Homo-oligomer: A and B are copies of this chain.
Amino acid sequence: MNVTHIELRHLRLLQAVTEAGGLTAAAERLHLTQSAVSHQLKALEDALGLPLIERATRPLGLTAAGRRLLTLAHAALPQVDAALRDLAKLKDGDAGELRIAVECHTCYDWLMPAMDSYRDVWPGVELDLLGGFQADPVGLLLDGRADLVITSETVPRAGVAYAPLFGFEMLALLPPDHPLAAKKWLLPADFAGHTLITYPVPEDRLDLIRRVLAPAGIKPARREAQLTVAILQLVASRRGLAALPAWAVAPYLERGYIAARRIGKHGLWAELHVAVREADTARAYVADFIETVKRDSFARLPGIRPAIIAP
């Protein structure tokens, strides 16, 4: 067959496979099963009469044909997305207001750049970032004091809709020469007798305490710090241990400033979600903000994975 029946779906697939570095990971991102991805890729290769990926090599490589098709994907898909955005603007208008409340301290790291790329595309949308700690950020939506909340909880609430952003791993931080650094991963007991350095938030907002230490009956001393760099500095100077998202510490790890270890064998994973008023889910500039953040995050943040928990 020569009149090849290629579709955007195939381009998105190839892009996801190369970006995710494998079929299984691509499947997660596309919200498909691994089987579907394998079948679809094979069907595409059969239709073209050419293999697209190098099997049995890790990390997965592309064939010349695969690279050519990926080039097409990189050229064509952004055009398609831009057109869809323009259509959305035609439909709903291109102006609006987005007051954003953020629950997690480290989120500013990726939120700022994401907001920048969003602003390029929706210049008519007024972006505001709400500062300060909020006891009940989702409540701000219903108060009308915020339009969008980035949160780790998805407690169902009338009139509020949640959309998953991504899952990320919390890593335990310790000085590079600390005795515990010899272990591949830390167990709850390893934290006993150490001070825990955290952001100034209640204990039930700290995943490490709520999901790991408290169930094991361990209650370490706490010391609070406002800024990520302050926490890192306290850890490096042996004042205690901390737990931060993997993406937030990646740059410091590279420089050997501190060490990071998994919490439990499979790691401690948390998720971020976006909450908006249900009435706003249909607004194009709202939906596209969520899309932008997600795309930006997966492109920029190391070690994140698609969210698993149903919103």
Identify the A interface with B (CB < 8 A). Answer: 2, 4, 6-9, 48-50, 64-65, 68-69, 71-72, 75-76, 79-80, 83-84, 86-88, 90-91, 282, 284, 287
Nearest-neighbor residue (CB-CB) of A72 within chain B: B83
Query: Using Cβ atoms and an 8 Å threshold, which residues of chain B touch A65?
Result: 87, 90-91
Q: Are B8 and A6 neighbours in the complex by a CB distance under 8 Å?
A: yes
Task: Give chain B residues whose Cβ lies under 8 Å from the Cβ of A50.
Answer: 87, 90-91
- A7 & B4 in contact (Cβ 8 Å cutoff): no
User: A83: which of B64, B71, B90 is its contact (CB, 8 Å)?
Assistant: B71
The CA-CA distance from A8 to B69 in the complex, in Å, is 15
Residues of B within 8 A of A90 (CB): 50, 64-65, 68
Other than the given A2-B282, A6-B80, 13 more pairs (CB < 8 A) read: A2-B287, A4-B84, A7-B9, A48-B91, A50-B87, A50-B90, A50-B91, A65-B91, A72-B79, A72-B83, A75-B79, A76-B76, A76-B80
What CA separation (Å) do A214 and B79 show in the bound complex? 57
B88 pairs with A2, CB closer than 8 A: yes
